[in-house]
């Protein structure tokens, strides 16, 4: 008599997606997802067939008795052996198995069934909750088409970012890995993500083809891959479908509102879309000259399609950034002109499509600086983050708004989130330093500025903030050195230091009144002739009457920077002056 096979009682199915997984031969089963894959191919199994397979896998290499299989797959039901035999046959068919020569499921005569190959319980994998979309590779062979590949990357990021249950790294940080030779585990550690999306894009003859794959970064495990081929007019539909597929693969929770947003798939004018992608390419470069080019391309896109809400939203953002903070070479009139244009563009975008988070964020900052409307700005930024909680820009904007009212706790909270979402964005870290300077947290300001310089030792904005901190602390010589590295004072200009050496801090501030900023592009008279900056120098000198006179002139101009009257420390000695307090009241600072 043959030895009786070792028996076990089958456990009930309690799988958690992505956690309980088995590999046997060339197949992999995911208990929580209810899937069996052979490479990238997902096999078609009914739920009953899958439960049968899962019970066998859990008990491998032992034999599972027929009665236990019946109790597991059909609990509280009367099912006979014939039904079980039929279900095993269907399972074998789905796996590509044969009863005569079984590769996967074998019968043990008189007892039950068992898995034939060795079964490997895969190491538990944590759920994927943080993603980075690496720059899509340009397959056109034409370097002039890089803007298109970069734009397609940004659009996919913006679609995925609408899913609040996922952390999605912003464009600026992922662009650091364009043409990189770093391995995925290193990239994942640097960005703080669980998985990456990478792929290629090519536009040919009015169509676009995108090939993407989802990879668990720490193990280099390929989870999913797909190729999409669409007309250029349907590019937003392509990205929406891509985002939903990726969300499904990582089993992210998608709210009904998010699903509705992703299912909005307007067709676009291909020529207008090309102009918009070029505009965003220059927007991302973030210099005054490039922002001017970005504005021109956005305007061209709107001329080609007046209903193109995404182009109107981009125009609002470009105008806002060109006016603030890249305002050094602008007159007040030009600054307000840009903000007015941005405000009209934001409202036009929201009239066409009220769910554009970017348009709400740009509108919020314009309401703050152009209209001095704190409540309107707060409402707009809150709505922006409701629509896209992954927007590092919107979190940074809300930190800026909070800094104008000295809400230090909120500033620090929003900055932490912004940096988490865009960890390699130099501008965000440098602005974080600036906002901390506003709320008098000089230690944190120095920390953020230093972090920026660790990433790029010559980044001007970080040196500029360090100069401000040193100036506030009375370390004028150190401040001058940082301003020269920030290219605010010409590197070869010794007059500022000489003025300080001869006249102390007062000598330096009188030099500021006399000579002002000496480096290009700041040498334009616009900076020195803005009353706001003259008022600041007089405040430093303790000549408060003169400071008030120039602040009143700035008020008459509707100088945008007056929203910083509470935030900037050089006004602190004047806060007890009734004239200054009245000015703060008229500006409307809460």
The DSSP line for 147-173 is: HHHHHHHHHHHHHHTT-TTSEE--HHH
Confidence at residue 17, expressed as pLDDT on a 0 to 100 scale? 45
pLDDT band at 470 (very low <50, low <70, confident <90, very high): very high
Decide: 210 and 238 in contact? Cβ < 8 Å: yes
Decide: 37 and 43 in contact? Cβ < 8 Å: yes
Summarised one tens digit per residue, pLDDT across range 362-405 is 999 999 999 999 999 999 999 999 999 999 999 999 999 999 99
pLDDT band at 177 (very low <50, low <70, confident <90, very high): very high
Summarised one tens digit per residue, pLDDT across range 209-268 is 999 999 988 777 788 888 989 998 988 888 888 999 999 888 888 888 888 888 877 888
Give the Cα separation of 26 and 19 in Å (integer): 19
Mean pLDDT, the chain, integer: 89
Is residue 28 helix, strand or coil?
strand
Residue with tokens 């102390």: 504
pLDDT band at 328 (very low <50, low <70, confident <90, very high): low
Confidence at residue 3, expressed as pLDDT on a 0 to 100 scale? 44
All domains of the chain in start order, with CATH:
7-121 (1.10.10.10), 130-266 (3.40.50.10070), 268-388 (1.25.40.10), 530-590 (no CATH)
Give the Cα separation of 414 and 37 in Å (integer): 42
Beta pairing, strands 130-133 & 195-204: parallel
Least confident of 508-522, 554-568, 572-586: 508-522
Tokens of 529: 């002739």
Residue range 50-75: average pLDDT?
84
Pairwise pLDDT comparison (90 vs 326), residue with the higher score? 90
Summarised one tens digit per residue, pLDDT across range 484-531 is 999 888 877 788 899 999 999 999 999 888 876 554 444 444 556 789
Confidence at residue 489, expressed as pLDDT on a 0 to 100 scale? 84
pLDDT band at 15 (very low <50, low <70, confident <90, very high): very low
Confidence at residue 19, expressed as pLDDT on a 0 to 100 scale? 58
Give the Cα separation of 317 and 294 in Å (integer): 10
pLDDT band at 327 (very low <50, low <70, confident <90, very high): low
Instruction: Kindly give, in sequence order, each residue whose CB lies less than 8 Å from that of residue 89, ignoring residues fewer than 6 positions away.
Output: 99
Decide: 165 and 253 in contact? Cβ < 8 Å: yes
Confidence at residue 257, expressed as pLDDT on a 0 to 100 scale? 87
Say if residue 431 is exposed, middle or buried (CB neighbours under 10 Å; 0-12, 13-18, 19+).
buried
Residue range 189-204: average pLDDT?
92
Q: Helices (H) and strands (E) in the chain — how many of each?
A: 25, 15
pLDDT band at 170 (very low <50, low <70, confident <90, very high): very high
Q: DSSP secondary-structure letter at 461?
A: H
Residue range 325-330: average pLDDT?
69
Give the Cα separation of 268 and 312 in Å (integer): 13
């Amino acid at each position: 008599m043959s030895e009786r096979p070792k028996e076990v009682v089958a456990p009930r199915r309690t799988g958690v997606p992505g956690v309980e997984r088995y590999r046997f031969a060339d197949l992999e089963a995911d208990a929580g997802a209810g899937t069996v894959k052979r490479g990238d191919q997902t096999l078609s199994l009914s739920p009953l067939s899958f439960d049968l397979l899962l019970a066998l896998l859990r008990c491998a290499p032992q034999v599972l008795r027929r009665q236990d299989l019946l109790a597991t797959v059909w609990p509280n039901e009367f099912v006979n052996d014939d039904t079980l035999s039929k279900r095993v046959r269907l399972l074998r068919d789905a796996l590509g198995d044969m009863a005569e020569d079984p590769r996967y499921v074998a019968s043990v005569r008189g007892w039950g069934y068992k898995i034939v190959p060795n079964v490997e319980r895969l190491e538990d994998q944590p759920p994927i909750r943080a993603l980075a979309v690496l720059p899509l590779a340009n397959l056109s062979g034409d370097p002039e088409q890089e803007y298109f590949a970069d734009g397609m990357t940004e659009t996919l990021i913006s679609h995925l970012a609408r899913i609040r249950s996922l952390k999605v790294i912003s464009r600026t940080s992922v662009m650091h890995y364009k043409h990189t030779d770093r391995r995925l585990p290193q990239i994942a550690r640097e960005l703080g993500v669980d998985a990456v999306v990478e792929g290629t894009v090519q536009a040919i003859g009015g169509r676009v083809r995108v090939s993407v794959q989802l990879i668990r970064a720490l193990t280099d495990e390929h989870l999913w891959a797909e190729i999409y081929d669409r007309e250029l007019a349907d590019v937003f539909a392509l990205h929406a479908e891509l985002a939903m597929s990726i969300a499904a693969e990582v089993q992210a929770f998608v709210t009904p509102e998010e699903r509705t947003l992703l299912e909005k798939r307007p067709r676009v004018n291909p020529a207008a879309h090309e102009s918009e992608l070029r505009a965003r390419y220059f927007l991302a470069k973030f210099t005054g000259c490039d922002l001017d080019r970005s504005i021109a391309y956005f305007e061209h896109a709107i001329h080609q399609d007046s209903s193109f809400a995404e182009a109107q939203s981009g125009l609002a953002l470009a105008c806002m950034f060109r006016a603030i903070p890249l305002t050094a070479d602008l007159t007040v009139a030009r600054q307000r002109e840009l903000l007015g244009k941005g405000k009209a563009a934001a409202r036009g975008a929201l009239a066409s499509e009220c769910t554009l988070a970017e348009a709400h964020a740009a509108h919020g900052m314009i309401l703050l600086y152009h209209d001095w409307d704190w409540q309107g700005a707060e409402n707009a930024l809150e709505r922006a983050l409701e629509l896209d909680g992954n927007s590092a820009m919107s979190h940074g904007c809300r930190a800026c708004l909070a800094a104008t009212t000295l809400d230090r706790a909120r500033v620090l909270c929003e900055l932490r989130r912004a940096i988490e979402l865009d960890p390699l964005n130099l501008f965000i870290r440098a602005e974080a330093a600036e906002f901390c300077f506003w709320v008098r947290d000089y230690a944190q300001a120095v920390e953020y500025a230093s972090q920026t310089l660790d990433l790029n030792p010559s980044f001007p904005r970080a040196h500029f903030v360090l100069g401000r901190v040193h100036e506030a602390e009375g370390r004028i010589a150190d401040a001058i050195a940082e301003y020269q590295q920030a290219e605010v004072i010409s590197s070869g200009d010794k007059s500022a230091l000489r003025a300080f050496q001869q006249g102390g801090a007062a000598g330096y501030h009188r030099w500021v009144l006399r000579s002002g900023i000496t480096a290009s592009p700041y040498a334009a008279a616009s900076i020195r002739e803005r009353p706001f900056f003259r008022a600041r120098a007089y405040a430093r000198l303790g000549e408060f009457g003169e400071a008030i006179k120039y602040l009143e002139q700035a008020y008459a101009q509707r100088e945008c920077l007056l929203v910083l009257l509470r935030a900037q420390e050089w006004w602190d000695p004047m806060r007890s002056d009734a004239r200054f307090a009245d000015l703060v009241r008229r500006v409307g600072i809460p």
